[in-house]
Structure 1
Amino acid sequence: MLLTTRMQALGKRASPILITSMDTDGSTLFLLRRAKILAAGAQLQQVSAKVVREANAIAQVVGGYPLALDQVGAFLEEKGCSLTTYLKLYQEQGTKLLGEGGQQADDHQRSVANTLMLAIEQVTQKDALNLELLHLLAFLHPDAIPEGLLTDGAAKLRKPLQAFAKDPLLLQDALADLRRFSLIHNSIDREILQIHRVVQDVLIDRLTKAQQRQWARQVVHLVNFVFPEVRFDTWATCELYLPQAKRCADLIDKFRLTSIEGASLLERLGNYLSQRGFYIDAETYLSQSLHLYEKQPHTNPSDLAQTLNSLGLLYSRQAQFHKAESHHQRALELRERTLDADHPKVAESLHNLALVYAERGEYQQAEQTYQRVLAIEEQTKGAGHPDVASTLNNLGMTYFRLKLYSQAEAAYKRALTIYELSRGINYPYLIYPLDGLGALAEMQGNYQQAEGFYQRALVIAKKAFGDKHIETAHSINKVADIALAQGNDAKAEEFYQQALSIGEKVLRPGHPDIALFLSNLAFLANKQKQYQKAESLYQRALNIYEKALGSEHPDTVLVREQYNALLKRMNQDFS
Structure 2
Amino acid sequence: MHFGKRLRQERLRLHLSQEALAEALAISARSIRRWEQGQALPQASVRLQLSRFFGLRPEELFEDQETQTPHTPLWCVPYPRNPFFTGREEILTTLHTALSINQEAAFTYVYALHGLGGVGKTQIALEFAFRFAQKYHAVFWIGTETAESLALSLLRIAETLQLPERGDRDQQRVITAVRDWLMTHHQWLLICDNVEDLGVLDRFLPSRRQGAVLLTTRLQALGTHARGIPLLPMKHREGMLFLLRRARVLEAEATGEPMHQLSVQQPSHYAAAAELVTATGGLPLALDQAGAYLEETQCGLPAYLDLFRTRRAALLQQRGEGAQNHPLPVSTTFALAVAATAERHPAVRDFLRVCALLQPDAIPEELFRQGGEHLGATLEAVFRDMLDWNRVVALACSYSLLSRQPEAQTFSIHRLMQAVLLDAMTETERKEWASRVVEALDAVFPEVQPTTEFAPWKKQCDRLVPHVLLCLHRIGDAEGSLALASLAYKVGQYLREGGQYAEAEPFYQRAVHIREQLLGSDHPEVARALNNLALIYWKKGQYTEAEPLFQRALYIWRQALGPSHPFIAVALNNLAILNAEQGKYAEAEPLFQRALHLSEQSQGPEHPDVARALHNLAELYTGQGKYAEAELLLQRGLSISRQALGPDDPLVAHALYNLAELSQEQGRYAEAESLYQQALRINEQNQGAESPDVALALNGLANLSREQGRYAEAKALYQQVLSIREQQLGQQHPETAQTLYDMAIFSQKQGDLGKALSFAERALKIRSLSLGDAHPKTVATRELYAQLVQEQGGAEQDPPSPETS
TM range (shorter): 0.7 to 0.9
Offset from partner CA, 1:154-174 (integer Å, 9 cap, x none): 322334444335545443333
Given that 1:76 and 1:82 are in contact with CA atoms closer than 8 Å, whether structure 2 keeps it comes out as: yes
1:362 aligns with 2:584: yes
Letter in 2 for 1:245: V
Letter in 1 for 2:544: H
Query: Take 1:563 and 1:127, find their aligned partners in 2: how far apart are those partners?
Result: 70
Query: Take 1:239 and 1:499, find their aligned partners in 2: how far apart are those partners?
Result: 21
> What is aligned with 2:624?
402
Give SS of 1:354's match: helix
Given that 1:55 and 1:83 are in contact with CA atoms closer than 8 Å, whether structure 2 keeps it comes out as: yes
Identify if the C-alpha distance between structure 1 residues 412 and 556 changes in structure 2 by more than 3 Å, giving closer, same or farther.
farther
**How far off is 1:467 after superposition?**
6.9
Query: Take 2:792 and 2:330, find their aligned partners in 1: how far apart are those partners?
Result: 75
Given that 2:744 and 2:756 are in contact with CA atoms closer than 8 Å, whether structure 1 keeps it comes out as: no
> What is aligned with 2:224?
12
**How far off is 1:146 after superposition?**
2.5
Query: Take 2:275 and 2:410, find their aligned partners in 1: how far apart are those partners?
Result: 25
**How far off is 1:90 after superposition?**
1.6
> What is aligned with 1:484?
706
> What is aligned with 2:105?
none
**How far off is 1:333 after superposition?**
0.6
Query: Take 2:622 and 2:475, find their aligned partners in 1: how far apart are those partners?
Result: 46
Give SS of 1:440's match: helix
1:211 aligns with 2:402: no
1:548 aligns with 2:760: no
Given that 1:144 and 1:194 are in contact with CA atoms closer than 8 Å, whether structure 2 keeps it comes out as: yes
> What is aligned with 2:527?
305
- Answer with 78-87 or 43-52: which moved more: 43-52
> What is aligned with 2:321?
103
> What is aligned with 1:331?
553
Query: Take 1:355 and 1:45, find their aligned partners in 2: how far apart are those partners?
Result: 64
> What is aligned with 1:244?
467
Given that 1:519 and 1:541 are in contact with CA atoms closer than 8 Å, whether structure 2 keeps it comes out as: no
**How far off is 1:338 after superposition?**
0.9
- Within 5 Å, give how 1:71-470 maps onto structure 2: 71-76=289-294, 79-104=297-322, 108-164=326-382, 166-189=384-407, 191-231=409-449, 232-233=452-453, 235=457, 236-253=459-476, 256-296=478-518, 298=520, 301-416=523-638, 432-447=654-669, 449-451=671-673, 453-454=675-676, 460=683
Letter in 1 for 2:475: I
Identify if the C-alpha distance between structure 1 residues 443 and 59 changes in structure 2 by more than 3 Å, giving closer, same or farther.
same
Given that 1:309 and 1:327 are in contact with CA atoms closer than 8 Å, whether structure 2 keeps it comes out as: yes
Query: Take 1:535 and 1:139, find their aligned partners in 2: how far apart are those partners?
Result: 45
Give SS of 1:126's match: coil
Query: Take 1:57 and 1:323, find their aligned partners in 2: how far apart are those partners?
Result: 42
Letter in 2 for 1:275: E
Query: Take 1:104 and 1:468, find their aligned partners in 2: how far apart are those partners?
Result: 61
Identify if the C-alpha distance between structure 1 residues 315 and 431 changes in structure 2 by more than 3 Å, giving closer, same or farther.
farther
Given that 1:363 and 1:398 are in contact with CA atoms closer than 8 Å, whether structure 2 keeps it comes out as: yes
Query: Take 1:87 and 1:560, find their aligned partners in 2: how far apart are those partners?
Result: 52
Offset from partner CA, 1:455-483 (integer Å, 9 cap, x none): 676784899599797x7776665444234
**How far off is 1:100 after superposition?**
1.9
Give unpaired runs (5+ residues) of structure 2.
1-110, 112-213, 797-805
Name the larger-Rg structure: 2
> What is aligned with 2:732?
506
- Answer with 140-149 or 379-388: which moved more: 379-388
**How far off is 1:276 after superposition?**
2.7
Q: Percent identity?
A: 31
Query: Take 1:257 and 1:466, find their aligned partners in 2: how far apart are those partners?
Result: 44
Letter in 1 for 2:617: L
**How far off is 1:39 after superposition?**
6.6
Query: Take 1:444 and 1:311, find their aligned partners in 2: how far apart are those partners?
Result: 36
Alignment length, in residue pairs?
565
**How far off is 1:288 after superposition?**
1.3
TM-score (ref. length: structure 1)? 0.81
Query: Take 2:327 and 2:664, find their aligned partners in 1: how far apart are those partners?
Result: 77
**How far off is 1:293 after superposition?**
1.8
Query: Take 1:331 and 1:162, find their aligned partners in 2: how far apart are those partners?
Result: 38
Offset from partner CA, 1:171-219 (integer Å, 9 cap, x none): 3333322222222221242622222221111111122223222222222
Query: Take 1:285 and 1:548, find their aligned partners in 2: how far apart are those partners?
Result: 24
TM-score (ref. length: structure 2)? 0.60
Give SS of 2:411's match: strand
Give SS of 1:153's match: helix
**How far off is 1:335 after superposition?**
0.1
> What is aligned with 1:60?
278
Give SS of 1:296's match: helix
Offset from partner CA, 1:88-109 (integer Å, 9 cap, x none): 2221122222222243456522
Identify if the C-alpha distance between structure 1 residues 417 and 75 changes in structure 2 by more than 3 Å, giving closer, same or farther.
farther
Give SS of 1:182's match: coil
Offset from partner CA, 1:347-384 (integer Å, 9 cap, x none): 11112212212211122332322222223323433455
Query: Take 2:380 and 2:642, find their aligned partners in 1: how far apart are those partners?
Result: 43
Letter in 1 for 2:443: F
Identify if the C-alpha distance between structure 1 residues 99 and 408 changes in structure 2 by more than 3 Å, giving closer, same or farther.
same
Identify if the C-alpha distance between structure 1 residues 569 and 8 changes in structure 2 by more than 3 Å, giving closer, same or farther.
closer
Query: Take 1:139 and 1:243, find their aligned partners in 2: how far apart are those partners?
Result: 12
Query: Take 1:175 and 1:535, find their aligned partners in 2: how far apart are those partners?
Result: 53
**How far off is 1:491 after superposition?**
6.8
Identify if the C-alpha distance between structure 1 residues 319 and 26 changes in structure 2 by more than 3 Å, giving closer, same or farther.
farther
- Answer with 21-30 or 321-330: which moved more: 21-30
Identify if the C-alpha distance between structure 1 residues 340 and 115 changes in structure 2 by more than 3 Å, giving closer, same or farther.
same
**How far off is 1:83 after superposition?**
4.1
Identify if the C-alpha distance between structure 1 residues 107 and 320 changes in structure 2 by more than 3 Å, giving closer, same or farther.
farther
Higher helix proportion: 1
Identify if the C-alpha distance between structure 1 residues 65 and 190 changes in structure 2 by more than 3 Å, giving closer, same or farther.
farther
**How far off is 1:337 after superposition?**
0.4
Given that 1:477 and 1:517 are in contact with CA atoms closer than 8 Å, whether structure 2 keeps it comes out as: no
Give SS of 1:3's match: strand
Given that 2:684 and 2:694 are in contact with CA atoms closer than 8 Å, whether structure 1 keeps it comes out as: yes
Query: Take 1:190 and 1:560, find their aligned partners in 2: how far apart are those partners?
Result: 48
Give SS of 1:17's match: strand
Letter in 1 for 2:339: E
Given that 2:619 and 2:630 are in contact with CA atoms closer than 8 Å, whether structure 1 keeps it comes out as: yes
Identify if the C-alpha distance between structure 1 residues 250 and 426 changes in structure 2 by more than 3 Å, giving closer, same or farther.
farther
Identify if the C-alpha distance between structure 1 residues 44 and 537 changes in structure 2 by more than 3 Å, giving closer, same or farther.
same
Query: Take 2:754 and 2:232, find their aligned partners in 1: how far apart are those partners?
Result: 60
Query: Take 1:137 and 1:533, find their aligned partners in 2: how far apart are those partners?
Result: 50
Give SS of 1:267's match: helix
RMSD: 4.5
**How far off is 1:29 after superposition?**
5.7
Identify if the C-alpha distance between structure 1 residues 69 and 344 changes in structure 2 by more than 3 Å, giving closer, same or farther.
farther
Give SS of 2:508's match: helix
Given that 2:541 and 2:772 are in contact with CA atoms closer than 8 Å, whether structure 1 keeps it comes out as: no
Offset from partner CA, 1:128-155 (integer Å, 9 cap, x none): 4433333333223332332332232232
